[in-house]
Chain A
Amino acid sequence: MIERGDLELFGRSLRQAVDGATGAELDAALDELGWIDVVRADPAAGISLLFSLQGRALATSSALDRLLALRLGLEVPAVVLPATGRWAAPGTVTGGRLAVDGLGTATIGDAGAVLVVAEDDGSATTVETGSLDLHPLPGIDPALGLVRVRGEVALGAGDRTGRVDWSSAVAWGQLAVGHELVGASRRMLELARRHALDRVQFGQPIARFQAVRHRLAETLVALDLADAALEAAWLDPTPESAAIAKAVAGRAGRTATRHCQQVMGAIGFTTEHDLHRYIRRVLVLEQLFGGTAPLTRHLGEEILDRRRVPAAIPL
């Protein structure tokens, strides 16, 4: 744990860095600030601070790769993420070959080598990016710069590690993306609130209409609950608590997109206003490290299987 005063100072510097830079520039700024050392000392603080800011600023970085590598205990510049909507490891080992089907963050092309964890045996293999098919995915959110990572490589003797702790890495990934979702959604709420106060119809700001107020109130409730679930998961970041928090954050993000876009009216549907960028980001983040729907179904099936609900969060 880090002292509260030091964290506040760090948070301010981090905010400046994230507001001022994105991509490789932000990575350099994070190195200078020693962000990964803060994560080592206090994962909850380091990860929640950076990713909620990154969401607000719509910034990108290789922070997700770095925290996954840290959690897996391996020195690699990039880690292949699970495929869209999934949280299972992206690799499959069969007959001495490793097949890969996953996603990469924007910086993966410059990484040289990536880490692929295999779903079946839990091993990790460092693979040269040149031997994989990296296909850019502008999709619905070009600014995020995700890349499809596919391919198959032969495994030499000693290429693979033993079983790594993928589920703990997933838990950190889910919490990081959860914070980013809430960060982007809170910014959306600010934009919609500003619009509601400025936009005059029938001789008054539309913020006076209860239908508008209640949509924004509903959004705040959803985001506050998501933050609470994320915060509680950091008390004991088990795969289950992190997956629940991610699902709650994903659903809250979708609630925010629905209500904020409606409150913004037609201007929120144009590219002249920034709202669409946040909507795009939330839609994609919701599908990283487990979409809300499959996470929810999986949780329900697990509970029915063992006939036991997850332990209650202790006071």
Chain B
Amino acid sequence: MDLDTFRKSLDDWLDEHADELAPSFPGHGSVELQQEQIGKVRRLTYDAGFARWGWPELVGGHGGSALLRAYLNEALAARDLVETGLYALSEVLGPSFITFARPELSAAVVPRLLRGDEVWCQGFSEPGTGSNLAMLTCRAERTGDGWRVSGQKVWTSLAQLADRCVLLTRTGTLESAHRGITALFVDMDSPGITVRPLETMHGEPEFCEVFYDDVAVPFDRTIGEEGQGWAFAMDLLPYERSTALWQRAALLHRRLQQLVEAAAPGALDPVALGEVVQQVHAFRARSRATQHRLASGEDLGSATSVDKVALATTEQALFDLAAAALPDEVLLADGPTAGRWRKEFLYSRAATIYGGSAEIQRNIIARRLLELGPDR
């Protein structure tokens, strides 16, 4: 399957099934509604075959270039069919899971993620370790019949709706730092798990605190080998900063067009608008190049920190412009359209914080790409 054929047949299919695919709610919607919509879109696109391209046959995919997957994601965002931040979890977790987990485990569970039968979440951050991931303390003890997990995670997106969690645990000593970390695949209905959603500034409990109290996890749910958790996380983070962002680029382009349509005459300063258009364009150009490099098998690693810095800067600039041009919608007005501008404006404030803060990304760029040596 080549990209142009895929693009054409997907576009036609999306047009034909527009009514069926459309969200049942106007505007931004609650996390529950958004996730329900994502589940519906995943099921329809999977059953029609589109969501299987770009994934290996092992997990029910049709194979083919990862660019096919990227185009599906782009097309869904460009039509406002899914909330991209939540939808992207499959792009973030899927590829590394397949690389590290036992093939039997991947074959059993990844198709369920791709078809929308299951929601997964990513249990990485802890109250004491946000940026300093290597010092995580959520403990997994080896017992006769499996792991016993005790500890606390925080900022776990969608934990309240998730069926499974990809969880980083400490299996070595704290002094072993990144070497003593193991990744586990945990059923969220296991006894001992308590989820407490956190109310956020944009009004949606998108992420949660999750408490693990002596939770049993079978050994065959270890993702990779014991002690490979750091390698797994390092493999995964570049996806969080690359494939997921192409979809974001499509969304920003759509919002920019909507902003131009919605702004009253004189409300948009041409210079400010021109600069944001240039930023959105350059970010998209960068993200496109990244998708092509990834699809050709290049290992991007730290270079994706440039993509993340670009996204965060661009997204904030776009929504700052929206707030300046549509102050009533963003700040005060009722209704679904104003509600969405408001929520997305507020959510954009987090773009320099989530997925590795802007400071951490610049540290990575300085250390790995500019080779400036250690910083302490």
Contact = CB atoms under 8 A, between A and B. Distances in A.
Interface of A: 189, 193, 196-197, 205, 207-208, 210, 213-214, 216-218, 220-221, 224-226, 228-229, 231-232, 244, 247-248, 251, 293, 295-301, 303-304, 307-310, 312-313, 315
B286 A224 contact: yes
B330 to A, nearest CB: 19
Contact of A315 (B256, B291, B310): B291
A231 B362 CA distance: 24
Given A207-B372, A213-B375, A315-B67, A309 B277 contact: yes
B43 interface: no
8 smallest CB-CB distances across A and B, nearest first, come from A300-B270, A300-B274, A232-B285, A213-B366, A296-B274, A228-B286, A217-B365, A299-B274
Interface in B347-366: 359, 361-363, 365-366
Given A244-B281, A296-B278, A205 B373 contact: yes
Contacts of B306: 220-221, 224-225
A307 B260 contact: yes
B250 interface: yes
Interface of B: 3, 7, 67, 70-71, 74, 78, 246, 249-250, 253, 256-257, 260-261, 268-275, 277-278, 280-286, 288-289, 291, 306, 309-310, 359, 361-363, 365-367, 369-370, 372-376
A193 B374 contact: no
B277 A244 contact: yes
Contacts of B70: 315
B370 A216 contact: yes
A187 B228 CA distance: 39
Which of B270, B281, B363 has the most A CB atoms < 10 Å from its CB? B281
A35 to B, nearest CB: 25
Given A213-B366, A300-B270, A308 B260 contact: yes
Secondary structure dominating the interface of B: helix
A303 B273 CA distance: 8
Given A208-B374, A304-B268, A298 B67 contact: no
Given A220-B365, A296-B275, A301-B270, A197 B260 contact: no
A315 B370 contact: no
B311 to A, nearest CB: 11
A313 B284 contact: yes
Contact of A309 (B257, B372, B376): B257
A193 B372 CA distance: 7
A196 B370 CA distance: 11
Contact of B286 (A207, A216, A225, A295): A225
A308 B7 CA distance: 23
A299 B275 CA distance: 9
A122 to B, nearest CB: 25
Nearest to A214: B362
Given A225-B310, A228-B285, A312-B250, A210 B271 contact: no
Contact of B373 (A208, A244, A295, A297): A208
A262 to B, nearest CB: 15
Which of B291, B362, B370 has the most A CB atoms < 10 Å from its CB? B370
Contact of B278 (A189, A214, A299): A299
A213 B250 contact: no
Given A197-B373, A210-B375, A303 B260 contact: yes
A24 B92 CA distance: 54
Given A231-B289, A232-B289, A297-B270, 14 more contacts: A193-B370, A213-B366, A214-B366, A216-B370, A217-B369, A225-B283, A228-B282, A228-B288, A248-B278, A299-B274, A300-B277, A304-B270, A312-B253, A312-B284
Given A213-B363, A217-B365, A248 B375 contact: no
A213 B362 contact: yes
Nearest to B362: A217
Given A300-B268, A300-B272, A315 B3 contact: yes
Contacts of A293: 271
A6 B361 CA distance: 37
A52 to B, nearest CB: 16
Given A298-B274, A304-B268, A309-B256, A220 B310 contact: no
A250 to B, nearest CB: 10
Contacts of A301: 270, 274
A310 B253 CA distance: 9
Contacts of B282: 225-226, 228-229, 244, 248
B65 to A, nearest CB: 10
Contacts of A225: 282-283, 285-286, 306, 310
A309 B253 contact: yes
B272 to A, nearest CB: 7
30 contacts: A208-B376, A210-B375, A213-B370, A214-B359, A216-B366, A217-B362, A217-B366, A217-B369, A220-B369, A221-B309, A224-B306, A225-B282, A229-B278, A229-B281, A231-B289, A232-B281, A248-B278, A297-B270, A299-B274, A300-B271, A300-B272, A300-B273, A300-B274, A308-B257, A309-B253, A309-B260, A310-B277, A313-B284, A315-B71, A315-B74
